[in-house]
Structure 1
Amino acid sequence: FENSPVIGSGPFQAVEWKKGQSARLVANPDYFRGAPNLDEIIFQFYDNDDTMVQALKNGDVDYISGIPINLFKSLENQEGIETNSAPDPGFTELGFNLYEPSPEVIEEFGAPKTTTGNPALLDPKVREAINWAIDEEELTQKVLQGEGIPGSTLVPPILAKYHLKLDESEIQGFDIQRSRELLEQAGWTDTNSDGTVDKNGEELELRLFVRSEDKDSVTEGQFIEDWFEEAGVGLETKAISDTALTDAIYAADYDMFIWGWGSDADPDFILSVLTCEQFMGWSDTFWCNEDYSRMYQEQKEQLDIDERAATVKEMQRIAYEDNPYIIFYYDNQTEAWRTDKFEGWLKTPTTADPGQIAYTFSNEGYLNLRPLSTGDAPDEGGGTSPLVYIGLALVGAAIVAVVIVLVRRRSAEDRA
């Protein structure tokens, strides 16, 4: 699309963009709250997590985030480096292909004329059986090493007003026997004793796409393979690029995938991705529930916050019970920064325990950041430059400010 001139009022201005390499922002001297303490912020892009972390250790960048857990743990207690793991408004999920082609949908949305999705997944009971065959607790502990909490409903807990917290009795937990029972209720049994359930002569064989750019996604796929085998579900797992996965989703050429979402501060966007109106837009499951979509429009117009929260929670209940997504966990943001050049690294929101340095819907952290005073700065012969480098991983992320390395789930911008 055409890049028209942009008029903004923020504390920094984008002045340079080198595709796949870096982005440079300079301080806005006319910012209404006063010019920032920093002259420039450079976002350096990396396509390798190890290289990004090493850049922080070497002092080539000042801040990184979205760090894979093992690398994050390796930075803890390192001299001159601080680390932080904080709740984040996002999650990682298993998504299903629920597309049912029809002339109306094809004409209205330009949707595919065909789908390769396994029709067994159109049965909510089969999707619930799959949910019972996935151990969210173990994924949280083994993949995240505890840097997050098990997932359930669509709006992350950090958006506390709108998050639906389920009672223990409502949670579809991990129970292989329960999974087998639900499959049997749906007509899937192992009639030939080969270990895979079948129905009308067809065995339940599914395809799972994981992301080759995301090691955690690949690891999750390995866990799922083992659990599905116990439940009697055949599974072929394939790692593909984000671009290939996006193409497969819009072509309805998949059964299941592992990816994730990041929510805005308001839940409207994350709710929208499951509406009927988002076919060939944000929707990646082709799930359409008329009650859910109707309530989505209602919550947009409800001025009473409590009334709106009640509607949003009921929407989440509908989605949770129908399982277009199985949310593995709400993963923390992992971040690290050097302490030898700048001070004022501020975690926001300040009321959170803990908050985050960056990407918290606030620019306070960037405005609070300033070079160490001469007396505090290490003697490197030339003083401290008011230039911050932020390492950014090549997965697509909105620029906010400082050289940050971002390797995180896709957000709305990533799917545009």
Structure 2
Amino acid sequence: EARAVDATTLEIQVEYPISNMDYRVSFLYIVYPKDFEEFTTPEDLQNFTNFSPVGTGPFKINTLDKDQRVILLDANPDYFEGRAKIDQIIYQTFDNSDALIQALKVGDIDLASEVPDSAFTAVAAFENVKAVSLPGRSLTELILNSAPEGHDPTPNRNPAITDPQVRLAIATAINKMDLVDVVLLGYGVPGVSIIPPTLGGGFWFNKDLPDVKFDIAEANRILDEAGYVLGSDGVREKDGVHLEFRLQFPSDQASYPRAADMIANWLKEVGMQVTPSSVDPDSLVVATNPNADYDMVIWGWGSDPDPDFMLSVMTSDQYAEGGWSDSGYSNPEYDQLYAEQQIVLDETER
């Protein structure tokens, strides 16, 4: 229940403690009562455009032009911390990173974020540009199809991808440090968790998590011991199942093709045939969830400042149409721990 105590105070009463209530309130969407009353179906809510948003930030929307892909924001004179020193911000999107970088170079734009790693050195050399590189909250993942056997529709995958020993061999055969150095040009670190090491200044990251050491010989030993026999074609097989996998990635990511090729080459050294392919992002969303029609996928996440969302992605109920899970991972113990951390107010205990 929520009520306005006075003109500037909102009181929210909840049924149980919520560990990140302050964070959730900061992301509230304020909707006109008239708009809310017209939401009669889930589709109404999903299709709501909100072209006249209500907000409390330092800027407010002047113009939203979908055709030109431009948003004009004017300073909000009623902002609670005082009017911003900048009168107007113009957000412009571009067809590709080359167009973005060129606009930055010639001075058509004043600020750009998410410059591709491959272009950062060149951008840093522009006379009129100050380039800044800082640790972020994003991560790149290799998703292995973990959809439960009873999932509807039935998962379309090589069944070997669900074998823990095959998964361990894959992890052992991938040199994450090389991926950082070659694909990201050093602008990153090898990952061990869905929680980035920068989250909360490192508070939410478990520094004691072990990583899997890169070792081609060890990966081959794991597969030998698991009974996967190397065939004359260089591909391992067990009980008629060959270690042949699809490796898909979204077509809008410039760094993923190189990463996919490197991963395919490493896995070839341990008797796996991996076929990389670029897929339209919208199609890949459906392929991963709910269709479970893939073997391996390279994709990524940008984490919120609070860890709750990233943790929620791995819960069982998120692997359904409209859910956030891209792997199908399901573990009742994990689900219970996730639910418990939602109501713990002490950050260390959480």
Shorter chain as denominator, the TM-score bin is: 0.7 to 0.9
Q: Decide whether the 8 Å contact of 1:125 with 1:186 is kept in 2.
A: yes
Please say which of residues 259-268 and 72-81 is displaced more in the overlay: 72-81
1:285 is aligned to 2:317: no
Report what 2:163 is aligned to. 123
Please say which of residues 212-221 and 15-24 is displaced more in the overlay: 15-24
CA–CA separation in structure 2 for the residues paired with 1:55 and 1:300: 44
CA–CA separation in structure 2 for the residues paired with 1:201 and 1:296: 39
The residue identity in structure 1 corresponding to 2:241 is E
Report what 2:211 is aligned to. 171
SS at match of 1:307: coil
Report what 1:207 is aligned to. 246
Q: Decide whether the 8 Å contact of 1:276 with 1:289 is kept in 2.
A: yes
What is the 5 A alignment of 1:56-135? 56-102=104-150, 112-135=152-175
Report what 2:31 is aligned to. none
TM-score w.r.t. length of structure 1? 0.69
Report what 1:155 is aligned to. 195
SS at match of 1:26: strand
CA–CA separation in structure 1 for the residues paired with 2:95 and 2:251: 12
Q: For residue 163 of structure 1, report the CA deviation from its aligned partner.
A: 0.6
RMSD value, Cα:
1.5
Q: Deviations over 1:145-194 (max 9, x none)?
A: 11111111121111211111236xx320211111122223333121x332
Report what 1:306 is aligned to. 348
CA–CA separation in structure 1 for the residues paired with 2:247 and 2:71: 35
Q: For residue 215 of structure 1, report the CA deviation from its aligned partner.
A: 1.8
Greater relative contact order (CA < 8 Å, ≥ 6 in sequence):
1
Q: For residue 2 of structure 1, report the CA deviation from its aligned partner.
A: 2.1
What is the 5 A alignment of 1:6-405? 6-19=53-66, 21-102=69-150, 112-159=152-199, 160-166=202-208, 170-190=210-230, 192-250=231-289, 251-280=291-320, 281-308=323-350
SS at match of 2:314: coil
Q: Decide whether the 8 Å contact of 1:207 with 1:254 is kept in 2.
A: yes
Q: For residue 16 of structure 1, report the CA deviation from its aligned partner.
A: 2.1
Report what 1:3 is aligned to. 49
The residue identity in structure 2 corresponding to 1:227 is W
Q: Deviations over 1:280-305 (max 9, x none)?
A: 20000111011111100111111221
The residue identity in structure 1 corresponding to 2:309 is F
Q: Decide whether the 8 Å contact of 2:148 with 2:330 is kept in 1.
A: no
Aligned residues: 297
Q: Decide whether the 8 Å contact of 1:97 with 1:286 is kept in 2.
A: yes
Aligned-residue identity in percent:
39
Q: For residue 101 of structure 1, report the CA deviation from its aligned partner.
A: 4.2
Q: Decide whether the 8 Å contact of 1:99 with 1:117 is kept in 2.
A: no
Q: For residue 47 of structure 1, report the CA deviation from its aligned partner.
A: 1.5
SS at match of 2:277: strand
Q: For residue 3 of structure 1, report the CA deviation from its aligned partner.
A: 3.4
TM-score w.r.t. length of structure 2? 0.81
Structure 1's 101 and 14: CA in aligned 2 closer, same or farther, altered over 3 A?
Answer: farther
CA–CA separation in structure 1 for the residues paired with 2:207 and 2:283: 35
Q: Deviations over 1:17-39 (max 9, x none)?
A: 22262222111111111111112
Q: For residue 6 of structure 1, report the CA deviation from its aligned partner.
A: 3.2
CA–CA separation in structure 1 for the residues paired with 2:307 and 2:225: 35
CA–CA separation in structure 2 for the residues paired with 1:285 and 1:23: 35
Q: Decide whether the 8 Å contact of 2:153 with 2:292 is kept in 1.
A: no
Q: Deviations over 1:115-137 (max 9, x none)?
A: 21221111222111100111000
Q: Decide whether the 8 Å contact of 1:56 with 1:62 is kept in 2.
A: yes
